Amino acid sequence: MSDRSSFTPRTDGPKVVITDFDYGNVDVEKGILEAAGAEVIALQAKSEADLFDAARDCAAMMNQYARIGKDVISRMEKCEVIARYGVGVDIVDIKAASDRGILVTNVQDYCTEEVADHAISMWLTLARKLPDYDRATHAGIWRWQSGKPVYRLRGRTMGVVSFGKIGQAIGDRARAFGVDVIAYDPFLPASVAAEHDVELVSKADLLARSDYILMQAPMTPDTRHFLSDAEFAAMKEGAILVNTGRGPTVDNKALYRALTEGHLAAAGLDDPEEEPAKRADWSPDGNPIFTLPNVIVTPHAAYYSEESILAARVTAATQVAKVLTGQRPDYALNTDALAATTH
C-alpha cells in the first residue's frame, strides 16, 4: 500500500457502500462521509452476490451483517478500506483484502459494558429461575416452589471462555456476587489474569469445575462448535451456560440434547447458531432450542444501548473518512500484512 502521508483530501466523490444496516437510516454515516467528500450508497445485502456490482467501483465498503468475502473483494477495482460495524471481523476475508492492498478496520471498545451487563443479566435470570416464576405467577400460581431448585450463588464457580476486555468485565461483575471466577484463554498473558485475580485453566478443567459457563469467544475455525456433545457431557450436572459471543461457537443440536436429557439446567444465548441476522429468511421453527422453556434467546442484542449504537456508527464511518482523506485510521487490523506486500 502506498504511503499516504502526503495524500490530499478527495474531491471526486469516492463511493462508500454500506452493505446492510438495521439502524433505520444512515444519516449519521452520511454526515461524516459526505463531509469528507464521499458519496454514500446504502444497500440491504443478504448475500455476497448482492454486492458484486457495487464492489467494482466503490472506494470503501462498510458492513454490519453481510459477508464480504473473496468473491466480493476480487471484484473491487478502487476499494481502499473495508470497515466493520463492530469488533468481530469473521465476516470479512482479511487475507483477500490484504492481498489486494485494502485496509480492514473495526470498531473496538464500544460495547464492553453493554455485553458484560447482558451476560450477567442472563446468568442471574437463569440462576434465580425468573422465567419459571414469571410464567407461574402469570398463570395464577403463587408458590416459591415454582422455581425449585434454586441454589445460592456465593461459593460457586464461574468459568469464562475468552478473557479479553469483555470477559474481564464479566468476571469483575460476577465476583461481586461471591462466585469464584476461572477462565480459559490460550492467548491471554498470565499477568493480565493476575491483575483480575482470575485463575487461567485448561478447557477440560474449566468444563469440569464450572457451575456456570459464560462464553465470549470470537468466531474462528478453531472455535466453531467449541461446545458440543463431548463438552456438555464433561460439564457439571445442572450447569448453566450463557453465550454472548458468536452463535456458532455453541453446537445448538448438542445443547438441545444436553438440556432435554437433564444434564444442563439452562442456557442463555444472545444469538443461536444459525445467526438469523445473516439470513434472508429465518424462522425459529428450524431450531428446536426455541421450544425449550429453560432457554433464553435474545436477538444479538448484547451490544446494544443507544449510546453504543451511536458510537459504533460514528467510529466505523470515521475510519473510512480518515482513510479516504489520507489519514491513519484508529483501528486498522491488517497494516502489517499490507506492509509486507510492499516489500
List, by residue number, the catalytic residues.
246, 275, 300
Nearest to 16 by CA among 49, 38, 45: 38
**Single-letter residue type at 290:** F
Burial of 343 (0-12, 13-18, 19+ CB in 10 A): exposed
Grid cell in block for residue 341: 506486500
Grid cell in block for residue 50: 448482492
Which residue(s) pair with 200 in the sheet?
A: 183
Grid cell in block for residue 156: 460457586
3-state DSSP of the chain? CCCCCCCCCCCCCCEEEECCCCCCCCHHHHHHHHHCCCEEEECCCCCHHHHHHHHHHCCEEEECCCCECHHHHCCCCCCCEEEECCCCCCCECHHHHHHCCCEEECCCCCCHHHHHHHHHHHHHHHHCCHHHHHHHHHCCCCCHHHHCCCCCCCCCEEEEECCCHHHHHHHHHHHCCCCEEEEECCCCCHHHHHHCCCEECCHHHHHHHCCEEEECCCCCCCCCCCECHHHHHHCCCCEEEEECCCHHHECHHHHHHHHHCCCEEEEEECCCCCCHHHCCCCCHHHCHHHHCCCEEECCCCCCCCHHHHHHHHHHHHHHHHHHHCCCCCCCECCHHHHHHHCC
Cα dihedral value 201, 202, 203, 208, nearest 10:
-70
